[in-house]
């Protein structure tokens, strides 16, 4: 059977021609992506790297968060899934896969851009899982806006609340519960160092996430809690079809990378697993770039 360890050419491992133009309202659904994304449903093979761990994954319903949640479960972790209420269907699909892996799935719909809801999400996860030792912050908001004149304060606020404030609230709320050995993984972007002109607010939040993570990693290292970052390049997810990119850019999406195509969420899940697992125990404050070969600082 093919799995993530199967030797293959990354250049043509997945779709190399462009994606069809499409648009979804709201956060978008994995169930409506055309073509569907690969989250490792049929391929991710666990090897007990996270046995008995208790994870909270934000944005776990779709895209990169879904791939991480599936991988965590197959590596032996129970997983609490945070997502927006509009994404209930996607979240239930992920919960079924977590349970099929023999692990507990906890469904936590809520808007983490609202402080009370973000903090409540963490408390519910701790309560349902009986503790917490792995926090993967994957949720994010990205809305393209070509002209600064059209970037509203409302959007600027929402992007910062979702991508930066929620991280602060969630990590702060989780800290009292995280034991030595716990791992926090935040999700940045190639946009942090190579910002696109139409993603001014989003790219700025992603650089903030990098810097917040590096500061926090130093603060928490003596307590045995590690903080690392995964920085994706272009991945085929609902975020990109729900206003993350101009619709007409989708046919070219990802083709600017040296590998020449967009990534699939299944291809980034192993980065989260590595940073979650004790095998990366001497690594903190670092950023793992998974971006098809684009140069990073
Ligand atoms: P996605 O749409 O599948 O996932 C983003 C998730 O964020 C949504 O599913 C939603 O559940 C969650 N979310 C957004 N606003 C929220 C809110 N207010 N409350 C609760 N949850 C909320 O898209 P994705 O591409 O898998 O995105 C995951 C992460 O990867 C994001 O942080 C994104 O910035 C980052 N990223 C993605 C790409 C890419 O090309 N897809 C590139 C770089 C970075
Ligand atoms: Mg989603």
- Domains of the chain as residue ranges with CATH: 26-290 (3.40.50.720)
Quote the ligand 1 centre to 222 CA distance (angstroms).
31
Summary mean pLDDT of the chain: 97
Q: Which residues of 207-231 are buried (b: 16+ CB within 10 A; e: fewer)?
A: ebbbebbbebbeebeeeebbbbbbb
Q: What is the pLDDT of residue 1?
A: 74
Cα separation, 142 vs 188, whole angstroms: 12
> Of the ligands numbered here, which is closest to the C-alpha atom of 64?
1
Cβ of residue 161 lying under 6 Å from some atom of ligand 1: no
Low-confidence ranges of the chain (pLDDT < 50): none
Q: What is the pLDDT of residue 18?
A: 83
Q: What is the pLDDT of residue 17?
A: 86
Cβ of residue 49 lying under 6 Å from some atom of ligand 1: no
Cβ of residue 234 lying under 6 Å from some atom of ligand 1: yes
Q: What is the pLDDT of residue 152?
A: 98
């Amino acid at each position: 059977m093919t799995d993530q360890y199967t030797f293959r050419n990354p250049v043509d491992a997945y779709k190399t021609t462009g994606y069809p133009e499409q648009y979804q309202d709201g956060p978008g659904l994995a169930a409506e992506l055309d073509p569907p994304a690969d989250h490792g449903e049929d391929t991710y093979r666990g090897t007990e790297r996270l046995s008995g761990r208790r994870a909270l994954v934000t944005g776990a319903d779709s895209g990169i968060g879904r791939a991480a949640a599936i991988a965590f479960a197959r590596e032996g972790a129970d997983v609490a899934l945070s997502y927006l209420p509009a994404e209930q269907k996607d979240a239930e699909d992920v919960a079924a896969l977590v349970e099929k892996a023999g692990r507990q799935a906890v469904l936590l719909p809520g808007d983490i851009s609202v402080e009370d809801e973000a903090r409540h999400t963490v408390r519910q996860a701790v309560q349902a899982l009986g503790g917490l030792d792995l926090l993967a912050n994957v949720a994010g908001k990205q809305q393209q806006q070509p002209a600064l004149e059209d970037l509203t304060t409302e959007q600027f606020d929402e992007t910062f609340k979702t991508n930066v404030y929620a991280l602060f609230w969630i990590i702060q709320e989780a800290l009292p519960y995280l034991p030595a050995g716990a791992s926090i993984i935040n999700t940045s972007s190639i946009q942090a160092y190579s910002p696109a002109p139409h993603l001014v607010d989003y790219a700025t939040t992603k650089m903030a996430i990098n810097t917040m993570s590096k500061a926090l990693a130093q603060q928490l290292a003596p307590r045995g809690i590690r903080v690392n970052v995964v920085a994706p390049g272009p991945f085929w997810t609902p975020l990109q079809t729900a206003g993350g990119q101009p619709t007409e850019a989708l046919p070219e999406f990802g083709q600017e990378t040296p590998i020449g195509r967009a990534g699939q969420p299944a291809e980034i899940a192993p980065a989260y697993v590595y940073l979650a697992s004790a095998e990366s125990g001497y690594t903190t404050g670092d950023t793992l770039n998974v971006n098809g070969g684009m140069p990073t600082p």
